[in-house]
Amino acid sequence: MSDTLQLSLVFALIAALLGAMAGLRRFAENHGWPAEIQRKIVHISAGGLAICLPWVFADAWPVYLLLGLTLGAMIAMRLPVLSGLGKTLHGVNRKSYGDFLLVVSVGLVFLFSNGNAVLYVLPLAVLTLADAAAAIAGSTYGKHFFRTEDGHKSLEGSAVFFLVTLLVCILCFLMLTDIPRENVILLAAAIAVFTTVVEADSWHGFDNLFLPMGVLIFLSTTLDMPVWDAVTRLGLLFVAIAILAALTRRVGLSSHVARVYAIAFFMLLSVTALQNAVLPTLLLLAQAADRRAAGAARNLAALEIVGALALVSFGFLAAGIATGVNAINYYALAIAAMAASHAALGLERRAAWLRLTGAAVCAAALFAVWVAVTNTNPASTYWHPPINAFAIAILAISALVPSAIPRWFQQRRNSKAALLGVFPTVLLYFILLLREGIL
């Protein structure tokens, strides 16, 4: 397939998707369909198209171009002039980033699966079919509900999610792998249990990120191991959930937050060494120590920082795969900088001199931890010249700015703290890639 034909196909698919959304919107208005049904039809259609992409295009670049243009179109549909078309995605009465995260997830799964059919198809099939079935079943037949930090979900929806995921896993394993047949149901059940917990504890549309990435990580790390080892790993996750539930209650956080923390660390430790979980742990502790918010608002803030941690983690992992050089040291620096900002924000009610002194101490301590962590990483992670001076500067800025102007962080504090630490780290990473001739 020529480049011209692939480029034409990209624009044709974008036009077809937008046209279908416009048609669906008009049809739904004429027949009184609720926003949730409209959104799930788009979700299933987009997911089905995404599953086919590796077999539609001969090269990878049209896939990324299509995803980039789709992301741009979704941002445009948030604008007032296109709000009517965008209601097929944004018409539900709750805050959600699900449309953006769906596109991001397809790109990440496409990159990380590296041509392995089951690693690509299964995560997206679970997201496309099980998630949509659970939402429709829960909204239609749900009678027994449990609370989450941004609303409630139904046991009926979770049961449907489990059953659909189980069936999807069995079909994918039978058709796309050589897994011994006696292990298929057990491994499928393990994935179904894991993803049901992930889906039940997702918020603001983050299931569109955590579900496919959770399936991909769980599957890629257990596919070649004895099936009972995979079940044991799942059991350890539930032990961690129980332990964290007891600990988080002591600091006023909910069991929902505890489960999300456990899932996040389960996924993190599946793809990296133990030492690289130290700084993420300090980040969560620094955020949990921030007592500015209370109750549900505080729990949502804790969940938001997990979302930010996930995006930063997957982002640096993707950058390392795409460039061919390990980005773990820069990931650690970005997380340390975020932790420095949150530690400084925890002192915002103190006197100015105490805030600045505390921020400086936090920055110094986190620099020492960052050095210790990176020194234990393999030599292959040091493809760059020493960056200690840059690390000190980034950590100092991340700690001192919130201390000097805490009022700037009264709104969207998690987003601003993340931007303050991640942006200069990413900039440094790409400057050194250019300097070393890698890009």
Count other C-beta atoms under 10 Å from residue 249's C-beta. 13
Strand partners, 151: 148
How far apart CA 406 and CA 27 sit, in angstroms, is 49
**Per-residue model confidence (pLDDT) at position 439:** 75
**Per-residue model confidence (pLDDT) at position 294:** 46
**Per-residue model confidence (pLDDT) at position 296:** 55
Q: Tens digit of pLDDT for each residue in 124-180?
A: 999 999 988 888 887 777 777 777 666 677 888 889 999 999 999 999 999 998 888
Strand partners, 152: 147
Cα–chain center distance at 86:
23
Query: For tokens 């620099």, what's the residue?
Result: 367
Side chain identity at residue 160, one-letter code: V
How far apart CA 331 and CA 316 sit, in angstroms, is 6
**Per-residue model confidence (pLDDT) at position 126:** 93
Residues found in the chain: 439
**Per-residue model confidence (pLDDT) at position 293:** 47
Identify the segments of the chain with pLDDT beneath 70.
31, 34-36, 78-96, 148-151, 251-252, 290-298
Count other C-beta atoms under 10 Å from residue 48's C-beta. 13
Cα–chain center distance at 209:
4
How far apart CA 6 and CA 263 sit, in angstroms, is 39
How far apart CA 244 and CA 258 sit, in angstroms, is 5
**Per-residue model confidence (pLDDT) at position 414:** 82
**Per-residue model confidence (pLDDT) at position 213:** 93
How far apart CA 385 and CA 374 sit, in angstroms, is 13
Burial of 202 (0-12, 13-18, 19+ CB in 10 A): buried
Between helix 98-113 and helix 35-56 the angle, nearest 10°, is 20
How far apart CA 383 and CA 25 sit, in angstroms, is 51
Q: Which two tokens stand for residue 233?
A: 């790993």
Count other C-beta atoms under 10 Å from residue 420's C-beta. 21
Nearest to 247 by CA among 265, 262, 232: 262
DSSP 15-44: HHHHHHHHHHHHHHHHHT--HHHHHHHHHH
How far apart CA 60 and CA 267 sit, in angstroms, is 26
Nearest to 150 by CA among 226, 207, 71, 87: 207
CA distances from 69 to 41, 47, 48, 348 (A): 20, 16, 18, 41
Q: Tens digit of pLDDT for each residue in 265-316?
A: 888 888 888 888 899 989 988 887 765 544 556 677 778 888 889 999 999 9
Answer whether 177's CB lies under 8 Å from 163's CB. Answer: no
Strand partners, 191: none
How far apart CA 130 and CA 160 sit, in angstroms, is 7
How far apart CA 97 and CA 210 sit, in angstroms, is 12
Burial of 332 (0-12, 13-18, 19+ CB in 10 A): buried
